[in-house]
Structure 1
Protein backbone atom coordinates (compact mmCIF):
# COMPACT_ATOMS: atom_id res chain seq x y z
CA UNK A 1 0.00 0.00 0.00
CA UNK A 2 1.22 3.48 -0.83
CA UNK A 3 0.06 6.58 1.05
CA UNK A 4 2.90 8.97 0.18
CA UNK A 5 1.78 12.60 -0.02
CA UNK A 6 3.03 14.84 -2.85
CA UNK A 7 5.92 17.18 -2.08
CA UNK A 8 6.40 20.70 -3.39
CA UNK A 9 8.68 20.87 -6.45
CA UNK A 10 11.79 23.02 -6.44
CA UNK A 11 11.70 26.62 -7.61
CA UNK A 12 13.63 25.75 -10.82
CA UNK A 13 10.72 23.85 -12.38
CA UNK A 14 7.59 25.46 -13.83
CA UNK A 15 5.13 26.51 -11.16
CA UNK A 16 2.12 24.22 -10.65
CA UNK A 17 -0.19 27.06 -11.69
CA UNK A 18 1.70 27.52 -14.98
CA UNK A 19 1.66 23.78 -15.63
CA UNK A 20 -2.09 23.77 -15.01
CA UNK A 21 -2.55 26.64 -17.48
CA UNK A 22 -0.66 24.62 -20.09
CA UNK A 23 -2.75 21.51 -19.43
CA UNK A 24 -5.97 23.55 -19.56
CA UNK A 25 -5.00 25.10 -22.88
CA UNK A 26 -4.35 21.66 -24.40
CA UNK A 27 -7.53 20.11 -22.98
CA UNK A 28 -9.62 23.05 -24.21
CA UNK A 29 -8.49 22.52 -27.81
CA UNK A 30 -9.29 18.81 -27.65
CA UNK A 31 -12.65 19.51 -26.02
CA UNK A 32 -13.57 21.91 -28.82
CA UNK A 33 -12.68 19.23 -31.36
CA UNK A 34 -14.75 16.54 -29.59
CA UNK A 35 -17.76 18.84 -29.14
CA UNK A 36 -17.81 19.47 -32.89
CA UNK A 37 -18.10 15.81 -33.88
CA UNK A 38 -21.13 13.94 -35.12
CA UNK A 39 -20.94 10.84 -32.93
CA UNK A 40 -23.63 8.84 -34.73
CA UNK A 41 -22.25 5.65 -36.27
CA UNK A 42 -18.62 6.01 -35.19
CA UNK A 43 -16.23 3.32 -36.39
CA UNK A 44 -14.41 1.51 -33.60
CA UNK A 45 -11.39 -0.75 -33.36
CA UNK A 46 -10.44 -3.27 -30.70
CA UNK A 47 -7.12 -3.03 -28.89
CA UNK A 48 -6.88 -6.01 -26.53
CA UNK A 49 -10.52 -7.18 -26.61
CA UNK A 50 -14.09 -6.03 -27.18
CA UNK A 51 -13.85 -4.45 -23.70
CA UNK A 52 -10.96 -2.22 -24.85
CA UNK A 53 -11.87 -0.12 -27.88
CA UNK A 54 -10.44 2.90 -29.66
CA UNK A 55 -11.72 5.29 -32.32
CA UNK A 56 -9.95 7.57 -34.77
CA UNK A 57 -11.00 10.45 -32.55
CA UNK A 58 -9.04 9.12 -29.56
CA UNK A 59 -5.92 9.41 -31.70
CA UNK A 60 -6.90 12.78 -33.15
CA UNK A 61 -7.67 14.19 -29.70
CA UNK A 62 -4.32 12.99 -28.38
CA UNK A 63 -2.45 14.55 -31.30
CA UNK A 64 -4.18 17.88 -30.67
CA UNK A 65 -3.15 17.73 -27.01
CA UNK A 66 0.41 16.66 -27.74
CA UNK A 67 0.91 19.40 -30.33
CA UNK A 68 -0.21 22.08 -27.87
CA UNK A 69 1.89 20.68 -25.03
CA UNK A 70 4.89 20.55 -27.35
CA UNK A 71 4.30 24.15 -28.41
CA UNK A 72 4.01 25.43 -24.86
CA UNK A 73 6.59 23.24 -23.12
CA UNK A 74 8.85 21.28 -25.49
CA UNK A 75 11.05 20.21 -22.58
CA UNK A 76 8.28 18.03 -21.12
CA UNK A 77 7.81 14.28 -21.38
CA UNK A 78 4.36 13.12 -22.52
CA UNK A 79 2.79 9.75 -21.70
CA UNK A 80 -0.37 9.18 -23.72
CA UNK A 81 -2.82 6.30 -23.87
CA UNK A 82 -2.63 6.02 -27.64
CA UNK A 83 0.90 7.19 -28.45
CA UNK A 84 2.79 5.83 -25.46
CA UNK A 85 5.77 7.69 -24.03
CA UNK A 86 7.16 10.65 -25.93
CA UNK A 87 10.45 11.98 -24.52
CA UNK A 88 11.12 15.70 -24.26
CA UNK A 89 11.83 17.27 -27.64
CA UNK A 90 14.58 19.50 -26.27
CA UNK A 91 16.64 19.34 -23.08
CA UNK A 92 14.67 20.78 -20.19
CA UNK A 93 17.20 23.55 -19.60
CA UNK A 94 16.72 24.74 -23.21
CA UNK A 95 12.95 24.92 -23.23
CA UNK A 96 12.92 28.68 -22.64
CA UNK A 97 12.07 30.89 -19.70
CA UNK A 98 8.79 32.01 -21.29
CA UNK A 99 7.52 28.43 -21.16
CA UNK A 100 8.88 27.82 -17.68
CA UNK A 101 11.82 25.54 -18.45
CA UNK A 102 12.07 22.53 -16.16
CA UNK A 103 15.77 22.96 -15.45
CA UNK A 104 15.65 21.27 -12.08
CA UNK A 105 13.26 18.39 -12.75
CA UNK A 106 11.42 16.35 -15.35
CA UNK A 107 7.91 17.48 -16.16
CA UNK A 108 5.61 14.68 -17.33
CA UNK A 109 2.11 15.04 -18.75
CA UNK A 110 -0.14 11.96 -18.43
CA UNK A 111 -2.73 12.22 -21.20
CA UNK A 112 -5.95 10.30 -21.74
CA UNK A 113 -7.50 11.93 -24.83
CA UNK A 114 -10.90 10.26 -24.28
CA UNK A 115 -11.47 8.43 -21.02
CA UNK A 116 -14.70 6.49 -21.46
CA UNK A 117 -14.30 5.64 -25.14
CA UNK A 118 -17.13 3.08 -25.08
CA UNK A 119 -19.48 5.78 -23.78
CA UNK A 120 -18.17 8.24 -26.35
CA UNK A 121 -18.66 5.79 -29.23
CA UNK A 122 -22.18 4.91 -28.07
CA UNK A 123 -23.28 8.55 -27.93
CA UNK A 124 -23.30 8.88 -24.14
CA UNK A 125 -21.92 12.13 -22.64
CA UNK A 126 -20.00 10.36 -19.84
CA UNK A 127 -16.48 10.75 -21.20
CA UNK A 128 -13.68 13.23 -20.62
CA UNK A 129 -10.18 14.42 -21.38
CA UNK A 130 -7.75 13.82 -18.52
CA UNK A 131 -4.31 15.45 -18.23
CA UNK A 132 -2.24 14.94 -15.10
CA UNK A 133 1.06 16.72 -14.54
CA UNK A 134 3.98 15.44 -12.48
CA UNK A 135 7.42 16.82 -11.68
CA UNK A 136 9.91 14.05 -10.93
CA UNK A 137 6.99 11.63 -10.37
CA UNK A 138 5.20 13.96 -7.94
CA UNK A 139 1.76 15.08 -9.09
CA UNK A 140 1.43 18.87 -9.12
CA UNK A 141 -1.53 19.67 -11.38
CA UNK A 142 -4.43 18.09 -13.20
CA UNK A 143 -7.44 18.81 -15.41
CA UNK A 144 -10.46 16.66 -16.23
CA UNK A 145 -12.67 18.14 -18.96
CA UNK A 146 -16.03 16.54 -19.80
CA UNK A 147 -16.78 18.45 -23.02
CA UNK A 148 -20.43 17.47 -23.57
CA UNK A 149 -21.35 17.91 -19.91
CA UNK A 150 -19.60 21.29 -19.70
CA UNK A 151 -17.62 20.29 -16.60
CA UNK A 152 -13.98 21.25 -16.13
CA UNK A 153 -12.34 20.01 -12.93
CA UNK A 154 -8.89 21.45 -12.19
CA UNK A 155 -6.25 21.81 -9.49
CA UNK A 156 -2.66 22.95 -9.09
CA UNK A 157 -1.19 23.89 -5.70
CA UNK A 158 -4.34 25.64 -4.50
CA UNK A 159 -7.91 24.49 -4.08
CA UNK A 160 -9.55 22.17 -6.57
CA UNK A 161 -12.27 23.72 -8.71
CA UNK A 162 -15.19 22.82 -10.95
CA UNK A 163 -15.73 25.47 -13.63
CA UNK A 164 -13.87 27.88 -11.38
CA UNK A 165 -15.95 27.10 -8.27
CA UNK A 166 -13.97 25.77 -5.30
CA UNK A 167 -14.66 22.18 -4.29
CA UNK A 168 -15.00 22.20 -0.51
CA UNK A 169 -13.85 19.19 1.55
CA UNK A 170 -16.60 16.81 2.63
CA UNK A 171 -16.56 13.83 4.97
CA UNK A 172 -17.00 10.33 3.59
CA UNK A 173 -20.39 8.92 4.58
CA UNK A 174 -20.59 5.81 6.72
CA UNK A 175 -20.83 2.64 4.65
CA UNK A 176 -24.60 2.29 5.12
CA UNK A 177 -25.14 5.66 3.42
CA UNK A 178 -22.22 5.57 0.98
CA UNK A 179 -22.53 5.79 -2.80
CA UNK A 180 -19.60 4.13 -4.59
CA UNK A 181 -18.75 4.81 -8.25
CA UNK A 182 -16.84 1.77 -9.43
CA UNK A 183 -16.67 -1.18 -11.79
CA UNK A 184 -14.55 -3.08 -9.26
CA UNK A 185 -13.57 -5.87 -9.50
CA UNK A 186 -14.18 -5.74 -13.26
CA UNK A 187 -13.75 -8.05 -16.21
CA UNK A 188 -9.96 -8.46 -16.05
CA UNK A 189 -9.88 -9.45 -12.40
CA UNK A 190 -12.96 -11.59 -12.97
CA UNK A 191 -11.01 -13.59 -15.54
CA UNK A 192 -7.83 -13.80 -13.44
CA UNK A 193 -9.42 -14.40 -10.02
CA UNK A 194 -13.00 -15.55 -10.68
CA UNK A 195 -13.74 -16.77 -7.14
CA UNK A 196 -12.40 -13.59 -5.55
CA UNK A 197 -14.19 -11.37 -8.07
CA UNK A 198 -17.57 -13.02 -7.54
CA UNK A 199 -17.32 -12.70 -3.78
CA UNK A 200 -15.89 -9.18 -3.91
CA UNK A 201 -18.73 -7.83 -6.02
CA UNK A 202 -21.33 -9.24 -3.63
CA UNK A 203 -19.47 -7.97 -0.53
CA UNK A 204 -19.16 -4.48 -2.00
CA UNK A 205 -22.82 -4.30 -3.00
CA UNK A 206 -23.91 -5.61 0.41
CA UNK A 207 -21.45 -3.37 2.28
CA UNK A 208 -22.49 0.07 1.02
CA UNK A 209 -25.71 1.86 0.16
CA UNK A 210 -25.30 1.59 -3.63
CA UNK A 211 -22.74 1.02 -6.38
CA UNK A 212 -22.78 2.70 -9.79
CA UNK A 213 -20.32 2.36 -12.68
CA UNK A 214 -19.85 5.34 -15.02
CA UNK A 215 -17.37 3.77 -17.43
CA UNK A 216 -14.73 6.48 -16.91
CA UNK A 217 -12.23 6.24 -14.05
CA UNK A 218 -11.30 9.91 -14.43
CA UNK A 219 -14.89 11.12 -14.17
CA UNK A 220 -15.53 8.84 -11.21
CA UNK A 221 -12.54 10.39 -9.41
CA UNK A 222 -13.73 13.89 -10.31
CA UNK A 223 -17.22 13.20 -8.99
CA UNK A 224 -15.82 11.80 -5.75
CA UNK A 225 -13.68 14.95 -5.48
CA UNK A 226 -16.85 17.01 -5.90
CA UNK A 227 -18.53 15.12 -3.07
CA UNK A 228 -21.22 13.65 -5.35
CA UNK A 229 -20.12 10.15 -4.37
CA UNK A 230 -18.19 8.76 -1.43
CA UNK A 231 -15.59 6.53 -3.05
CA UNK A 232 -14.28 4.98 -6.24
CA UNK A 233 -11.97 2.04 -6.77
CA UNK A 234 -10.35 -0.14 -9.43
CA UNK A 235 -7.92 -3.05 -9.33
CA UNK A 236 -6.28 -2.52 -12.74
CA UNK A 237 -5.62 0.95 -14.11
CA UNK A 238 -3.11 3.04 -16.10
CA UNK A 239 -1.41 6.27 -15.11
CA UNK A 240 -3.16 8.40 -17.76
CA UNK A 241 -6.56 7.38 -16.36
CA UNK A 242 -5.96 8.53 -12.79
CA UNK A 243 -3.06 11.01 -12.55
CA UNK A 244 -5.25 14.10 -12.90
CA UNK A 245 -8.04 12.64 -10.78
CA UNK A 246 -5.76 11.71 -7.90
CA UNK A 247 -4.37 15.24 -7.72
CA UNK A 248 -7.75 16.96 -8.01
CA UNK A 249 -9.28 14.72 -5.37
CA UNK A 250 -6.47 15.31 -2.89
CA UNK A 251 -6.62 19.08 -3.40
CA UNK A 252 -10.36 18.83 -2.70
CA UNK A 253 -9.66 17.16 0.67
CA UNK A 254 -10.04 13.54 -0.36
CA UNK A 255 -7.81 10.55 0.36
CA UNK A 256 -6.20 7.92 -1.87
CA UNK A 257 -4.68 4.53 -1.05
CA UNK A 258 -2.90 2.45 -3.68
CA UNK A 259 -1.49 -1.06 -3.99
CA UNK A 260 1.40 -2.34 -6.17
CA UNK A 261 -0.46 -5.19 -7.87
CA UNK A 262 1.54 -7.91 -9.58
CA UNK A 263 4.66 -5.77 -9.91
CA UNK A 264 5.12 -6.18 -6.17
CA UNK A 265 7.02 -2.91 -5.72
CA UNK A 266 5.89 0.43 -4.36
CA UNK A 267 5.83 3.24 -6.89
CA UNK A 268 4.33 6.75 -6.96
CA UNK A 269 0.56 6.53 -6.53
CA UNK A 270 -0.30 7.36 -10.13
CA UNK A 271 1.94 4.51 -11.32
CA UNK A 272 0.25 1.90 -9.12
CA UNK A 273 -2.45 -0.32 -10.66
CA UNK A 274 -4.95 -0.55 -7.78
CA UNK A 275 -6.57 2.16 -5.68
CA UNK A 276 -9.39 3.26 -3.40
CA UNK A 277 -10.19 6.98 -3.36
CA UNK A 278 -12.61 8.58 -0.88
CA UNK A 279 -14.17 12.03 -0.83
CA UNK A 280 -12.89 12.65 2.72
CA UNK A 281 -10.13 11.37 4.98
CA UNK A 282 -12.55 8.79 6.39
CA UNK A 283 -12.21 5.42 4.68
CA UNK A 284 -14.69 2.78 3.53
CA UNK A 285 -13.35 -0.35 5.23
CA UNK A 286 -14.98 -2.81 2.83
CA UNK A 287 -13.06 -1.41 -0.16
CA UNK A 288 -9.70 -1.22 1.62
CA UNK A 289 -10.14 -4.77 2.94
CA UNK A 290 -11.01 -6.13 -0.51
CA UNK A 291 -7.87 -4.57 -1.97
CA UNK A 292 -5.72 -5.98 0.81
CA UNK A 293 -7.09 -9.43 -0.02
CA UNK A 294 -6.54 -8.88 -3.75
CA UNK A 295 -2.93 -7.87 -3.12
CA UNK A 296 -2.37 -11.00 -1.05
CA UNK A 297 -3.70 -13.08 -3.95
CA UNK A 298 -1.39 -11.34 -6.37
CA UNK A 299 1.58 -11.74 -4.05
CA UNK A 300 0.90 -15.45 -3.65
CA UNK A 301 1.20 -15.96 -7.41
CA UNK A 302 4.57 -14.25 -7.75
Structure 2
Protein backbone atom coordinates (compact mmCIF):
# COMPACT_ATOMS: atom_id res chain seq x y z
CA UNK A 1 0.00 0.00 0.00
CA UNK A 2 1.43 3.38 -0.96
CA UNK A 3 1.53 6.25 1.49
CA UNK A 4 -0.99 8.39 -0.41
CA UNK A 5 -3.61 5.65 -0.23
CA UNK A 6 -2.93 5.15 3.48
CA UNK A 7 -3.26 8.89 4.07
CA UNK A 8 -6.58 8.94 2.20
CA UNK A 9 -7.88 6.10 4.39
CA UNK A 10 -7.01 8.00 7.57
CA UNK A 11 -8.61 11.18 6.26
CA UNK A 12 -11.85 9.45 5.28
CA UNK A 13 -12.13 7.70 8.65
CA UNK A 14 -11.66 11.03 10.41
CA UNK A 15 -14.37 12.66 8.33
CA UNK A 16 -16.83 9.79 8.79
CA UNK A 17 -16.18 8.59 12.35
CA UNK A 18 -14.18 11.17 14.31
CA UNK A 19 -15.23 14.70 13.42
CA UNK A 20 -19.01 14.02 13.61
CA UNK A 21 -18.44 13.01 17.25
CA UNK A 22 -16.17 15.89 18.25
CA UNK A 23 -17.85 17.83 21.08
CA UNK A 24 -20.90 15.62 20.62
CA UNK A 25 -19.97 12.67 22.83
CA UNK A 26 -22.54 11.50 25.36
CA UNK A 27 -21.47 10.30 28.79
CA UNK A 28 -21.65 6.65 27.75
CA UNK A 29 -19.45 7.28 24.70
CA UNK A 30 -16.33 7.83 26.86
CA UNK A 31 -14.75 5.08 28.95
CA UNK A 32 -11.68 4.83 31.16
CA UNK A 33 -8.96 2.30 30.33
CA UNK A 34 -6.00 2.34 32.75
CA UNK A 35 -6.75 5.61 34.52
CA UNK A 36 -8.45 8.98 34.46
CA UNK A 37 -6.13 10.28 31.73
CA UNK A 38 -6.28 7.13 29.59
CA UNK A 39 -9.61 7.15 27.78
CA UNK A 40 -11.32 5.50 24.84
CA UNK A 41 -14.33 6.81 22.95
CA UNK A 42 -16.67 5.56 20.27
CA UNK A 43 -14.67 7.65 17.82
CA UNK A 44 -11.47 5.68 18.60
CA UNK A 45 -13.14 2.30 18.23
CA UNK A 46 -15.19 3.08 15.13
CA UNK A 47 -12.34 4.85 13.34
CA UNK A 48 -9.92 1.99 14.02
CA UNK A 49 -12.43 -0.54 12.75
CA UNK A 50 -12.98 1.45 9.53
CA UNK A 51 -9.24 2.05 8.98
CA UNK A 52 -8.41 -1.61 9.54
CA UNK A 53 -11.10 -2.78 7.15
CA UNK A 54 -10.01 -0.33 4.44
CA UNK A 55 -6.35 -1.32 4.71
CA UNK A 56 -7.25 -5.01 4.57
CA UNK A 57 -9.46 -4.44 1.53
CA UNK A 58 -6.63 -2.81 -0.40
CA UNK A 59 -3.79 -4.94 1.00
CA UNK A 60 -5.06 -8.28 2.40
CA UNK A 61 -1.58 -9.54 3.34
CA UNK A 62 -0.85 -6.54 5.55
CA UNK A 63 -1.07 -6.94 9.34
CA UNK A 64 -2.88 -4.04 11.00
CA UNK A 65 -2.21 -3.45 14.69
CA UNK A 66 -4.33 -0.72 16.23
CA UNK A 67 -4.22 0.74 19.72
CA UNK A 68 -7.72 -0.42 20.58
CA UNK A 69 -7.13 -3.92 19.20
CA UNK A 70 -4.14 -4.25 21.51
CA UNK A 71 -6.17 -2.90 24.42
CA UNK A 72 -8.57 -5.81 23.81
CA UNK A 73 -5.79 -8.35 23.15
CA UNK A 74 -2.37 -7.28 24.55
CA UNK A 75 -0.76 -10.42 23.13
CA UNK A 76 -0.83 -8.75 19.69
CA UNK A 77 2.27 -6.77 20.64
CA UNK A 78 4.17 -9.98 21.36
CA UNK A 79 3.53 -11.63 18.01
CA UNK A 80 6.36 -11.66 15.47
CA UNK A 81 5.67 -10.44 11.95
CA UNK A 82 9.22 -10.20 10.61
CA UNK A 83 8.20 -11.46 7.16
CA UNK A 84 5.02 -9.35 6.92
CA UNK A 85 4.25 -5.69 6.36
CA UNK A 86 2.77 -4.26 9.56
CA UNK A 87 0.80 -1.03 9.82
CA UNK A 88 0.43 0.41 13.31
CA UNK A 89 -2.63 2.63 13.73
CA UNK A 90 -3.61 5.19 16.34
CA UNK A 91 -7.19 6.11 15.41
CA UNK A 92 -7.37 9.12 17.75
CA UNK A 93 -4.05 10.20 19.21
CA UNK A 94 -4.87 12.61 22.01
CA UNK A 95 -8.13 10.98 23.09
CA UNK A 96 -8.08 12.89 26.38
CA UNK A 97 -8.02 16.17 24.42
CA UNK A 98 -10.69 14.93 22.02
CA UNK A 99 -13.01 13.89 24.86
CA UNK A 100 -12.49 17.24 26.57
CA UNK A 101 -13.40 19.14 23.41
CA UNK A 102 -9.86 20.40 22.85
CA UNK A 103 -9.05 20.59 19.10
CA UNK A 104 -5.64 18.96 19.45
CA UNK A 105 -5.76 15.36 18.27
CA UNK A 106 -4.47 13.38 15.31
CA UNK A 107 -4.82 10.15 13.34
CA UNK A 108 -1.57 8.24 12.84
CA UNK A 109 -0.26 5.25 10.97
CA UNK A 110 3.21 3.79 10.43
CA UNK A 111 4.38 1.12 7.99
CA UNK A 112 7.00 -1.38 9.17
CA UNK A 113 8.71 -3.93 6.92
CA UNK A 114 11.20 -6.51 8.19
CA UNK A 115 11.30 -4.67 11.51
CA UNK A 116 12.24 -1.33 9.92
CA UNK A 117 9.95 1.70 9.71
CA UNK A 118 9.55 2.68 6.07
CA UNK A 119 6.71 5.24 6.10
CA UNK A 120 4.49 7.26 8.39
CA UNK A 121 1.46 9.55 8.27
CA UNK A 122 0.10 11.95 10.88
CA UNK A 123 -3.21 13.53 9.87
CA UNK A 124 -4.68 16.57 11.59
CA UNK A 125 -8.49 16.41 11.23
CA UNK A 126 -8.92 20.02 12.34
CA UNK A 127 -6.44 21.48 9.86
CA UNK A 128 -7.17 18.82 7.22
CA UNK A 129 -3.52 18.30 6.33
CA UNK A 130 -0.88 15.62 6.71
CA UNK A 131 2.65 15.19 7.91
CA UNK A 132 4.07 12.39 5.75
CA UNK A 133 7.39 10.61 5.43
CA UNK A 134 9.01 7.74 3.61
CA UNK A 135 12.45 6.40 4.44
CA UNK A 136 15.08 8.34 2.53
CA UNK A 137 12.59 10.87 1.15
CA UNK A 138 12.34 13.54 3.86
CA UNK A 139 9.37 14.70 5.90
CA UNK A 140 6.66 16.76 4.21
CA UNK A 141 3.57 18.68 5.18
CA UNK A 142 0.98 17.85 2.55
CA UNK A 143 -2.18 19.89 1.97
CA UNK A 144 -5.47 18.77 0.37
CA UNK A 145 -4.72 20.79 -2.78
CA UNK A 146 -1.50 18.81 -3.26
CA UNK A 147 0.88 21.52 -2.04
CA UNK A 148 3.90 20.05 -0.24
CA UNK A 149 6.31 21.79 2.15
CA UNK A 150 9.50 20.02 3.20
CA UNK A 151 10.10 20.01 6.96
CA UNK A 152 13.33 20.66 8.85
CA UNK A 153 14.06 20.09 12.52
CA UNK A 154 15.39 23.03 14.55
CA UNK A 155 19.06 23.98 14.42
CA UNK A 156 21.20 23.42 17.55
CA UNK A 157 21.25 26.09 20.27
CA UNK A 158 22.73 26.28 23.75
CA UNK A 159 20.99 24.21 26.42
CA UNK A 160 19.55 27.25 28.22
CA UNK A 161 18.00 28.47 24.94
CA UNK A 162 16.25 25.19 24.15
CA UNK A 163 12.50 24.84 24.13
CA UNK A 164 10.92 21.44 23.86
CA UNK A 165 8.17 18.99 24.65
CA UNK A 166 8.52 16.41 27.40
CA UNK A 167 6.02 13.78 28.52
CA UNK A 168 6.77 13.42 32.23
CA UNK A 169 3.62 11.57 33.36
CA UNK A 170 5.10 8.12 32.64
CA UNK A 171 8.47 8.75 34.29
CA UNK A 172 9.18 6.61 37.37
CA UNK A 173 7.98 8.26 40.54
CA UNK A 174 11.46 8.04 42.03
CA UNK A 175 13.10 10.02 39.22
CA UNK A 176 10.31 12.38 38.16
CA UNK A 177 11.03 15.13 40.77
CA UNK A 178 14.68 15.40 39.77
CA UNK A 179 13.94 15.48 36.04
CA UNK A 180 11.26 18.12 36.57
CA UNK A 181 13.85 20.17 38.46
CA UNK A 182 16.43 19.63 35.73
CA UNK A 183 14.00 21.00 33.15
CA UNK A 184 14.63 24.43 34.69
CA UNK A 185 17.94 24.33 32.76
CA UNK A 186 16.13 24.77 29.44
CA UNK A 187 14.20 27.81 28.24
CA UNK A 188 10.77 26.17 28.05
CA UNK A 189 9.04 22.82 28.06
CA UNK A 190 5.44 21.76 27.57
CA UNK A 191 3.35 18.67 26.96
CA UNK A 192 0.25 18.63 24.76
CA UNK A 193 -0.92 15.08 25.52
CA UNK A 194 -0.83 14.36 21.78
CA UNK A 195 2.37 12.89 20.39
CA UNK A 196 1.08 13.38 16.86
CA UNK A 197 0.95 17.16 17.18
CA UNK A 198 4.19 17.23 19.14
CA UNK A 199 5.95 15.42 16.30
CA UNK A 200 4.32 17.76 13.78
CA UNK A 201 5.60 20.80 15.69
CA UNK A 202 9.08 19.34 15.92
CA UNK A 203 9.21 18.40 12.23
CA UNK A 204 8.54 22.05 11.37
CA UNK A 205 11.47 23.24 13.49
CA UNK A 206 9.39 24.80 16.27
CA UNK A 207 11.04 22.99 19.21
CA UNK A 208 14.56 21.76 20.01
CA UNK A 209 13.76 18.48 21.74
CA UNK A 210 11.18 15.81 22.43
CA UNK A 211 11.25 13.34 25.32
CA UNK A 212 9.05 10.29 25.89
CA UNK A 213 9.42 7.48 28.42
CA UNK A 214 6.57 5.13 27.50
CA UNK A 215 6.86 3.93 23.91
CA UNK A 216 3.84 2.32 22.31
CA UNK A 217 4.38 1.78 18.58
CA UNK A 218 1.22 3.54 17.38
CA UNK A 219 2.33 6.66 19.29
CA UNK A 220 5.95 6.90 18.12
CA UNK A 221 6.90 4.76 15.12
CA UNK A 222 5.66 7.25 12.50
CA UNK A 223 6.90 10.31 14.39
CA UNK A 224 10.39 8.97 15.08
CA UNK A 225 10.97 8.30 11.38
CA UNK A 226 9.68 11.79 10.61
CA UNK A 227 12.22 13.27 13.03
CA UNK A 228 15.13 11.46 11.41
CA UNK A 229 13.95 12.38 7.93
CA UNK A 230 13.65 16.03 9.06
CA UNK A 231 17.29 15.98 10.18
CA UNK A 232 16.99 15.28 13.92
CA UNK A 233 19.08 12.92 16.02
CA UNK A 234 17.01 10.27 17.83
CA UNK A 235 17.99 7.58 20.32
CA UNK A 236 16.71 5.76 23.36
CA UNK A 237 18.03 6.86 26.75
CA UNK A 238 20.87 4.32 26.58
CA UNK A 239 21.98 5.66 23.21
CA UNK A 240 20.62 2.76 21.17
CA UNK A 241 18.38 3.13 18.14
CA UNK A 242 14.61 2.95 18.38
CA UNK A 243 12.31 0.60 16.50
CA UNK A 244 8.73 -0.64 16.69
CA UNK A 245 9.56 -3.49 19.07
CA UNK A 246 10.55 -1.10 21.88
CA UNK A 247 7.91 -0.20 24.44
CA UNK A 248 10.27 1.13 27.10
CA UNK A 249 13.76 2.59 27.40
CA UNK A 250 12.65 6.13 26.57
CA UNK A 251 13.15 8.23 23.44
CA UNK A 252 14.99 11.53 23.19
CA UNK A 253 15.02 13.66 20.03
CA UNK A 254 17.39 16.60 19.51
CA UNK A 255 18.91 18.65 16.66
CA UNK A 256 22.19 16.71 16.67
CA UNK A 257 24.21 14.24 18.74
CA UNK A 258 25.89 16.96 20.78
CA UNK A 259 22.54 18.47 21.77
CA UNK A 260 21.21 14.99 22.54
CA UNK A 261 24.14 14.28 24.86
CA UNK A 262 23.76 17.64 26.63
CA UNK A 263 20.06 17.01 27.24
CA UNK A 264 20.67 13.45 28.38
CA UNK A 265 23.46 14.46 30.79
CA UNK A 266 22.01 17.67 32.17
CA UNK A 267 18.26 17.13 32.10
CA UNK A 268 17.05 13.60 31.49
CA UNK A 269 19.33 11.75 33.87
CA UNK A 270 19.47 10.96 37.59
Q: Aligned-pair distance for 1:256?
A: 0.9
Q: Distance in 2 between matches of 1:38 and 1:131?
A: 20
2:52 pairs with 1:66 = yes
Q: Aligned-pair distance for 1:79?
A: 1.3
Note if contact 1:224-1:278 (Cα within 8 Å) is conserved in structure 2.
no
Secondary structure of the corresponding residue to residue 283 of structure 1:
helix
**Which residue of 27, 33, 38 maps to 2:10?**
27
Note if contact 2:112-2:118 (Cα within 8 Å) is conserved in structure 1.
yes
Matches within 5 A, 1:245-260: 245-259=223-237
2:127 pairs with 1:153 = no
Matches within 5 A, 1:1-302: 18-33=1-16, 34-42=18-26, 43-84=29-70, 105-157=83-135, 158-163=137-142, 164-184=148-168, 186=169, 188-189=170-171, 193-204=172-183, 206-259=184-237, 268-272=242-246, 273=248, 274-280=250-256, 282-285=258-261, 287-289=263-265, 291=268, 293=270
For the structure 1 residues 268 and 107, does the alpha-carbon distance in structure 2 shift closer, same or farther, using more than 3 Å as the test? farther
Q: Distance in 1 between matches of 2:132 and 2:61?
A: 23
Q: Distance in 1 between matches of 2:163 and 2:206?
A: 8
Q: Distance in 1 between matches of 2:193 and 2:32?
A: 17
Residue 145 of structure 2 aligns with which residue? none
TM-score normalised over the length of structure 2: 0.84
Q: Aligned-pair distance for 1:30?
A: 1.8
Q: Distance in 2 between matches of 1:246 and 1:81?
A: 17
Q: Could you report, residue by residue, the CA deviation over 1:102-126 in whole angstroms, capped at 9, with x for unpaired residues?
A: xx94211011101100000111111
Unaligned runs of 5+ in 2: 143-147
**Alignment RMSD:** 2.4
Select the structure with the greater relative contact order (CA < 8 A; seq sep ≥ 6).
1
Q: Aligned-pair distance for 1:251?
A: 1.0
Q: Distance in 1 between matches of 2:200 and 2:118?
A: 16
Q: Aligned-pair distance for 1:249?
A: 1.3
Secondary structure of the corresponding residue to residue 249 of structure 1:
helix
Larger radius of gyration between Structure 1 and Structure 2: 1
Note if contact 2:133-2:226 (Cα within 8 Å) is conserved in structure 1.
yes
For the structure 1 residues 151 and 282, does the alpha-carbon distance in structure 2 shift closer, same or farther, using more than 3 Å as the test? farther
Q: Could you report, residue by residue, the CA deviation over 1:24-53 in whole angstroms, capped at 9, with x for unpaired residues?
A: 122111221223334244431011111211
Secondary structure of the corresponding residue to residue 171 of structure 1:
coil
Q: Could you report, residue by residue, the CA deviation over 1:231-260 in whole angstroms, capped at 9, with x for unpaired residues?
A: 111111201100110111111111211148
Q: Distance in 1 between matches of 2:268 and 2:66?
A: 27
TM-score normalised over the length of structure 1: 0.75
Unaligned runs of 5+ in 1: 1-17, 93-103, 261-265, 294-302
Note if contact 1:221-1:277 (Cα within 8 Å) is conserved in structure 2.
no
Secondary structure of the corresponding residue to residue 107 of structure 2:
strand
